[in-house]
Amino acid sequence: MIQIPRGTQDILPKDSYKWQYIEDTLKNVCEKYNYQEIRTPIFESTDLFVRAVGDTTDIVNKEMYTFKDKGDRSMTLRPEGTAPVVRSYIENKMYGDPNQPIKVFYNQPMFRYERQQKGRYRQFVQFGVEAIGVEDPLIDVEILSMLMAFYESFGLKDLELHINSIGDFDSRKEYQKALQEHFRPKIDEFCDDCQSRIDTNPMRILDCKTDKNHPLMSTAPKITDYLNDESIEYYEKVKSQLDKIGIKYVEDPSLVRGLDYYTHTAFELMSTADGFGSITTLAGGGRYNGLVEMLDGPAETGIGFALSIERLLLAIEAESIEIENPHTLDLYVVTMGEESRDYASVLLSQLRQKGITADMDYKARGMRAQMRDADRKNAAYTIVIGDNELEEGKVNVKNMSTGEEVAYSFENLEEAIQ
Ligand code: HAM
Q: Phi and psi (nearest 5°) for 13?
A: -55, -30
The verdict on the CB of residue 202 being under 6 Å from ligand 1 is: no
E-strand stretches of 114-158: 123-132
Determine the distance separating the centroid of ligand 1 and the alpha carbon of 127, expressed in angstroms: 9
Was domain 329-417 assigned CATH 2.60.40.10?
A: no
The verdict on the CB of residue 104 being under 6 Å from ligand 1 is: no
The verdict on the CB of residue 167 being under 6 Å from ligand 1 is: no
45-91, pLDDT tens digit by residue?
999 999 999 998 999 999 999 999 999 999 999 999 999 999 999 99
Domain formed by 13-168+228-318, architecture = 2-Layer Sandwich (3.30)
What spatial distance separates the first Cα and last Cα of the chain, rounded to whole Å?
A: 47
Percentage, residues of the chain above pLDDT 90: 91
Q: Phi and psi (nearest 5°) for 404?
A: -65, 140
Determine the distance separating the centroid of ligand 1 and the alpha carbon of 158, expressed in angstroms: 19
For 332, residues 6+ apart whose C-beta sits below 8 A from its C-beta are 358, 359, 360, 370, 373, 374, 377, 379, 381, 382
The verdict on the CB of residue 379 being under 6 Å from ligand 1 is: no
In the chain, residues under CATH classification 3.30.930.10 are 13-168+228-318
Given CA atoms 371, 373, 375, 378 in this order, what sign does their dihedral have? negative
Interior angle at CA 41, CA 40 and CA 45, nearest 5: 115
Given CA atoms 166, 170, 176, 182 in this order, what sign does their dihedral have? negative
CA distance 336 to 301: 67
Site to substitute for ligand 1 among 124, 126, 143, most atoms within 8 A of C-beta: 126
284 is in an annotated binding site: no
The verdict on the CB of residue 160 being under 6 Å from ligand 1 is: no
Q: State how far Cα 106 lies from the chain centre.
A: 8
Helix (H, G, I), strand (E, B) or coil at 360: strand
Helix (H, G, I), strand (E, B) or coil at 162: strand
Closest atom, ligand 1, to C-alpha of 304:
33
Q: Phi and psi (nearest 5°) for 416?
A: -60, -45
Which protein residue's CA is at the shortest distance from atom 25 of ligand 1?
80
Q: Is 19 exposed, middle or buried (0-12, 13-18, 19+ CB in 10 A)?
A: middle
63 is in an annotated binding site: no
**pLDDT of 385:** 96
Determine the distance separating the centroid of ligand 1 and the alpha carbon of 365, expressed in angstroms: 49
In the chain, residues under CATH classification 3.40.50.800 are 329-417
CB of 50 closer than 8 Å to CB of 63: no
CA distance 8 to 264: 34
DSSP alpha helix (H) spans, 204-303: 215-218, 229-244, 291-294
Strands 74-77 and 102-111: unpaired
**pLDDT of 328:** 87
User: What are the C-alpha distances in Å from 136 to residues 34, 143, 162, 267?
Assistant: 17, 11, 20, 16
The verdict on the CB of residue 82 being under 6 Å from ligand 1 is: yes
CA distance 41 to 271: 31
The reported pTM is 0.94
Interior angle at CA 235, CA 183 and CA 150, nearest 5: 100
Closest listed residue to residue 344, CA positions, set 386, 404, 405, 406: 386
Helix (H, G, I), strand (E, B) or coil at 285: strand
CB of 85 closer than 8 Å to CB of 129: no
For 266, residues 6+ apart whose C-beta sits below 8 A from its C-beta are 163, 164, 165, 166, 255, 256, 257, 285, 286, 287
Strands 379-385 and 394-399: antiparallel
Strands 123-132 and 102-111: antiparallel
Q: Phi and psi (nearest 5°) for 244?
A: -65, -35
Which protein residue's CA is at the shortest distance from atom 4 of ligand 1?
284
Residues of the chain with pLDDT under 70: none
